[in-house]
Structure 1
């Protein structure tokens, strides 16, 4: 057997240390404090006058939202069934974390939003962030693409909103996929579910579990 050169043997512990360190990736929640369960402030928002159980269920820890996009609207919004999470916030850094699942065939629907009330009458309402499903990909608004081939799998979704810096970061399975400006100042809140857009499939659905909020 040929022994390794002494130089290589001396480097082995050092190389092992470098390789190990390179595998350590910061978690999005590092440095954050978890807030109490937001469930006490949950509110279902929907576009039509049907019983809640016709577009939303909660069973075995899973929140399920669905709509048929040709349903008539009584509120002037597009077809939607969404869960508003928590109260308005106007400052600080808030992080949402949850796991989402999109059944095959759903397209043209927003599944997570940071909704804002603007500071002027000209911008009375706006959306700071939208995460939307298009043809099997998750996008931030229309672009950029956050993740492809998302159907029929659970994904960890983390969004950090720094109000003072007007910054939004989005992570999928702990990996940062977006870092950019928000859209508007003012008061904000988050919600999940389905909100159909033009060109949406006839039926849209999203599922969520393990919903948490953090602050820093």
Structure 2
């Protein structure tokens, strides 16, 4: 076998390995996980402190719609964070094990500079283990890696798996692995899932996201 042929054989193997690792085919990410019971009481709506919930959130036809303006107040009088309207999932805070968030998300056009999902809890001074942000029609892991392009005006299924002991997070879009990486978290940190809109740098004036079929899973012991 010539050196040229060997080179192409090697390149093909590398491509095949990369193709498979990054998730060429959709998979069922919930295999081996146990679905946790959820109802509306588990959804704590964090919104500008000076407004009633129904001015920044509604739930109609199984869809949670959350929106916020760049000029809105933070979620509490003492907070110095940016405006947000988020669902904070209660009842399933965790500091060990393997947990998974699943939901269908939708982001309308012109929403940009916003976090739409996060795993809260991290070693200070950071507050979150994972943030998924939207900038100019693309979904990013923080602002470092594009998870999904051409995001606007269509539903997508999001699965985020957090292995606490392994300090690992995986992000899937429509069953396809889009990101896997280690996270730096100190011991005994409590985590929980959030989704909605949380204004970031260079945020648009109006920000909105919609969510349905929100589920939380834990890996079976």
1:197 aligns with 2:212: no
Taking a change above 3 Å as real, the CA distance of residues 72 and 187 of structure 1, as seen in their structure-2 partners, is closer
Greater radius of gyration (CA): 1
Shift of 1:47: 3.2
Offset from partner CA, 1:28-57 (integer Å, 9 cap, x none): 111111111254322111233101111111
> Does the Cα contact within 8 Å between 2:25 and 2:176 map onto a contact in 1?
no
What is the number of equivalent residue pairs in this alignment? 190
Change (3 A) 1:102 1:31: same
1:29 is aligned to: 30
TM-score where L is the length of structure 2 = 0.81
Q: What does residue range 131-210 of structure 1 map to in structure 2 within 5 Å?
A: 131-185=132-186, 186-210=189-213
Q: Does 1:127 align with 2:123?
A: no
Q: Does 1:79 find its partner at 2:83?
A: yes
TM-score by length of 1: 0.83
Partners of 1:38 and 1:127 in 2: CA distance: 24
SS of residue paired to 1:187:
coil
- Cα distance in 1 for residues equivalent to 2:102 and 2:211: 10
Q: Could you list the runs of 5+ residues in structure 1 that have no partner in the other structure?
A: 1-22
Pairwise CA RMSD: 1.7
- Secondary structure of 2:170 counterpart: strand
Residues in 1 aligned to 2:69 and 2:94: alpha-carbon distance in whole angstroms:
32
- Is 1:38–1:213's contact at 8 Å kept on the other side of the alignment? no
2 CA distance for matches of 1:65 and 1:28? 26
Deviation for aligned residue 1:61: 0.3
User: What residue number does 1:104 align with?
Assistant: 109
Please list every run of 5 or more consecutive structure 2 residues that lacks an aligned counterpart in the other structure. Answer: 1-23
Of 196-205 and 67-76, the range deviating more from structure 2: 67-76
Change in Cα spacing, 1:41 to 1:72, as seen in structure 2 (3 Å) is closer
CA distance in 2, matches of 1:213, 1:187: 16
Using the TM superposition, give the Cα deviation of residue 204 of structure 1 relative to its aligned residue in structure 2, in angstroms: 0.4
